[in-house]
Amino acid sequence: MERTLVLIKPDGVQRGLIGEIISRLERRGLKIVALKMMRITPELAARHYAVHQGKPFYEGLIRYITSGPVVAMVVEGPQAIEVVRKTMGATDPAKAEPGTIRADFGLTIGRNLVHGSDGPETAAFEIGLFFREDEILSYERAIDPWVLER
Ligand code: UDP
């Protein structure tokens, strides 16, 4: 089982796409094990996007991610990191495959609606940035045997 951090970015919240985006993850069978709405501070944004510091889009990215409330969640499932990234689509919505969140609702790379961790180390780091251990729940769902072959 894998866990990954998903953010519905400020444009997703403003455009009324919280339910739509969460639905797409739920419908795949992914399990939400932590969820909250919050405003990302400039300090948290800088830690979360530290790898992009110095890049041309960095300042705009920090302004964007801190511009309004986001929904943060931890999502669990087999290969959750890759499954979430495939469900989101390519970073640039113009290049994302139709049927993905970014292609279906986005047009430009600077307003691409969602974030999902890009690997196991990043996922562990990012989950730790956004959630305390006691905010992450372990639970069984009645549908689990119908979603997961064990
Ligand atoms: N980004 C941008 N312009 C770029 C590249 C990235 O505005 O040329 C933003 C975009 O919001 C993206 C985020 O920076 O989601 C992080 O970039 P990354 O390459 O890590 O893409 P992701 O993992 O989010 O698909």
Residue ranges covered by each domain of the chain: 2-139
Q: What six digits make up the tokens of 144?
A: 């689990």
DSSP character at residue 25: H
Q: How many angstroms separate the alpha carbon of residue 57 from the centre of ligand 1?
A: 8
Tens digits of residue pLDDT in 23-76: 999 999 999 999 999 999 999 999 999 999 999 999 999 999 999 999 999 999
Q: How many angstroms separate the alpha carbon of residue 91 from the centre of ligand 1?
A: 6
Q: Which of 48, 53, 57 to mutate to test the pocket of ligand 1 (most atoms within 8 A of CB)?
A: 57
Integer Cα distance of 67 and 65 in angstroms: 6
**Model pTM score:** 0.98
Tens digits of residue pLDDT in 81-112: 999 999 999 999 999 999 999 999 999 999 99
The annotation status of 91 as a binding-site residue, yes or no, is: yes
Q: List the residue whose alpha carbon is closest to atom 22 of ligand 1.
A: 91
Q: How many CB atoms lie within 10 A of CB 20?
A: 15
Structural fold of domain 2-139: Alpha-Beta Plaits (3.30.70)
* Residues in a beta bridge with 116: 6
